């Protein structure tokens, strides 16, 4: 196992409910370290703060306190908690991927275009991007009749498979997985598992949350359990 790729130190996050004049602590003094090539899993009850950790790493949320050190291949050591937006945008494009159970896309963009654009963003040519798109959409058994359709018309499971395909096709250096298999059937979960194992063999580091603990335990190097915003190593 390699050197540390991600180090979360004393991370805290609070939310203010203005209409109720309340502050809610989602995370308190969280510490977590992920080495290159590891798959670290986070478990805990709904509402315990699991997704908040991933969203702080991806910078969807700004932490209230603490540091999130990421060892970028191109930029060196970056504190994701305080890095400028242009740095975060660069890392999202080239190094850090995020998969959630929800698909958010630009309107009037087809499934094929979504996956192809993800490959093109990495600097590959159009022929390679198209080949990778076909491979990924085929792997997830998205019906060919849907490839050139808009995802707004897709079922929940189809949207989720497309979301996973779009993130995984980039082969990110760090992949954040936020309950990506929550609404998938067993066959689709196996498709996700095959690709996760492939990415791990290729060196992708992962930090993930799974509703299906059995699925996660067969993949993870280590597990952290979160309870009321606080961490313990399992």
With 0-12 CB in 10 A as exposed, 13-18 as middle and 19+ as buried, what is 149?
Answer: middle
Q: Return d(Cα 118, Cα 171) in angstroms, integer.
A: 10
pLDDT confidence of residue 199: 87
| Whether 19 contacts 48, CB under 8 Å | no
pLDDT above 70 coverage of the chain, percent: 93
What global pTM score does this model have?
A: 0.87
pLDDT tens column, 162-182 = 888 888 888 999 999 988 777
pLDDT at 1 over 60: no
pLDDT tens for residues 201-231? Answer: 889 999 998 777 777 777 888 888 887 667 7
Q: Quick: pLDDT tens for 57-80.
A: 999 999 999 999 999 999 999 999
pLDDT digits (tens, 9 = 90+) for 127-172: 999 999 999 999 888 889 999 998 888 887 888 888 888 888 889 9
Distances (CA, A) of 68 to 5, 50, 73, 78, 176: 10, 15, 16, 8, 14
Tell me the pLDDT band of 196, cut-offs 50, 70 and 90: confident
In this structure, are residues 34 and 50 in contact, taking their beta carbons and an 8 Å threshold?
no
pLDDT for position 181 = 79
User: Mean pLDDT score of the chain, rounded to an integer?
Assistant: 87
What is the arithmetic mean of pLDDT over 103-121? Answer: 83
- pLDDT recorded at residue 23: 81
Average pLDDT, integer, range 75-100: 94
Residue 11 has pLDDT above 90, yes or no: yes
Q: What is the pLDDT of residue 112?
A: 94
Q: What is the pLDDT of residue 2?
A: 61
Percent of the chain beyond pLDDT 90? 44
* Residue 155 confidence (pLDDT): 81
Task: Report the pLDDT averaged over residues 42-59.
Answer: 87
| pLDDT score of 223 | 86
Query: In the predicted model, what is the mean pLDDT of residues 4-11?
Result: 94
């Amino acid at each position: 196992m390699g050197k540390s790729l991600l180090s979360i130190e004393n991370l805290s996050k609070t939310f203010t409910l203005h209409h109720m004049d309340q502050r809610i602590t989602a995370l308190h003094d969280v510490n977590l370290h992920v080495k290159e090539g590891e798959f670290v899993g986070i478990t805990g009850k709904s509402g315990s703060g699991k997704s908040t950790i991933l969203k702080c790493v991806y910078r969807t949320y700004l932490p209230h306190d603490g540091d999130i050190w990421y060892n970028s291949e191109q930029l060196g050591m970056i504190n994701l908690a305080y890095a400028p937006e242009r740095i975060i945008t660069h890392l999202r494009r080239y190094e850090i991927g995020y998969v959630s159970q929800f698909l958010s896309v630009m309107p009037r963009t087809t499934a094929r275009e979504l996956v192809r654009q993800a490959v093109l963003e990495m600097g590959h040519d159009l022929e390679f991007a198209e080949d990778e798109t076909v491979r990924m959409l085929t792997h997830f058994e998205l019906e060919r009749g849907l490839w050139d359709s808009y995802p707004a018309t897709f079922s929940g499971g189809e949207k989720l498979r497309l979301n996973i395909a779009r993130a995984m096709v980039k082969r990110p250096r760090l992949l954040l997985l936020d309950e990506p298999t929550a609404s998938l059937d067993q066959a689709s979960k196996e498709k996700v598992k095959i690709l996760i194992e492939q990415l791990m063999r290729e060196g992708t580091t992962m930090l993930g949350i799974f509703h299906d603990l059995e699925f996660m335990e067969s993949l993870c190097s280590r597990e952290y359990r979160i309870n009321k915003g606080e961490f313990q190593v399992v």
